[in-house]
Amino acid sequence: MVKAKEQSIAIRKAGLGYNGKAILDDVDLEIAPGDVVCLLGQNGAGKTTLFRTMLGFIAPVHGSVTLSGREVSRLSPREIACIVSYVPQSYAMPFAYSVSDVVLFGRSVHLGLFSSPGARDRHVAAECLDLLEISHLAARPFNELSGGERQMVIIARALAQEARFMILDEPASNLDYGNQVRVIRKVRELAGRNIGILMATHHPDHAFMAASRVAVLSGGKLSHDGSPEAMLTPETLRSLYGVEVQVFDTPQNGHASRRVCAPVVE
């Protein structure tokens, strides 16, 4: 049997930063397949530093960062990409690639230096388009899509890597409300496929919609690693964002109520 730690992303007692100086200290975080960990924090709190360390772009100042039981520092970029994929806030293509080609780029981590995508690679890319319900966009130029459509395509490209984990950096930040809901629903569906997800957001409601756990970056620490219901309290949100917030339950058309939050407008 494979040990749980060998199936997870794990950061242990780590200091994260640059040039030997930690801007985040004593970081402990573990993400297993099927987890959705929602990361909240003000701008400048250190989310980018955390992501860059997990993706192997910078080394931890101290402590350990492991992907599937192996130190990230001992993994090649290709090995890292086979374990964890990354979805940025926004993405633009320099050329007029089609949507199907953009998603196919996700297969590059499985190809040799001079190899071309084969039948299986194209099949996987097509499956990812279908899963995200955007197969009808396959022939469209990526740069002509709406913001919501582009974000779905980039998630499909990350999914095509067939990595066990996915990091999403504010995937719904530039989207209208309807597209935000669609993206968050897809995040929940991907977790149901046993993909571990770390998702940064500035919207606590996204955590109530999709997350199994919430982690908060504040004051150089990663804290409050618990369920959304336990961690997203008015006190925590006031401390994090400096505004009064109400947290309450709302009925859901005959289903169990869902917790939401709203700022107090005086």
User: What CATH number should be reported for the domain holding residue 72?
Assistant: 3.40.50.300
The verdict on 94 and 133 lying in the same domain is yes
* Mean pLDDT (whole number) for 39-57: 93
The verdict on 29 and 70 lying in the same domain is yes
The verdict on 198 and 128 lying in the same domain is yes
The verdict on 102 and 13 lying in the same domain is yes
Tallying the residues shown for the chain, one arrives at 266
- CB burial of 205-233 (b: ≥16 within 10 Å; e: otherwise) equals bbbbbbbbbbbbbbebebebeeebeebbe
Residue type at position 254: G
The verdict on 248 and 226 lying in the same domain is no
The verdict on 77 and 169 lying in the same domain is yes
132: which DSSP letter?
Answer: T
Residue 43 near residue 242 (C-beta atoms within 8 A): no
The verdict on 227 and 238 lying in the same domain is no
The verdict on 125 and 242 lying in the same domain is no
The verdict on 178 and 225 lying in the same domain is yes
Q: In angstroms, rounded to a whole number, what is the distance separating the alpha carbons of residues 184 and 191?
A: 11
Backbone region of residue 106 per phi and psi (left: phi > 0; alpha: psi in -120 to 50; beta: other values): alpha
42: helix, strand or coil: coil
124: helix, strand or coil: helix
Its sign, for the CA torsion 158, 136, 151, 232, is negative
Nearest to 5 by CA among 61, 64, 53: 64
The verdict on 220 and 237 lying in the same domain is no
* Mean pLDDT (whole number) for 234-239: 90
Domain residues for 261? 233-266
The verdict on 262 and 228 lying in the same domain is no
Nearest to 173 by CA among 145, 199, 202: 202
How many domains, in total, are found in the chain? Answer: 2
181's tokens: 């809901």
For the stretch 112-154, pLDDT in tens is 777 788 999 999 999 999 999 999 999 999 999 988 899 999 9
* Mean pLDDT (whole number) for 91-120: 88
**Residue 258's pLDDT band (boundaries 50, 70, 90)?**
confident
Residue type at position 77: P
For the stretch 150-191, pLDDT in tens is 999 999 999 999 999 999 999 888 788 888 888 899 999 999
The verdict on 147 and 192 lying in the same domain is yes
Report how many helices (DSSP H) and strands (DSSP E) the chain contains, helices first. Answer: 9, 12
Q: In angstroms, rounded to a whole number, what is the distance separating the alpha carbons of residues 113 and 111?
A: 7
251: which DSSP letter?
Answer: E
Which residue's entry shows tokens 């980039």?
154
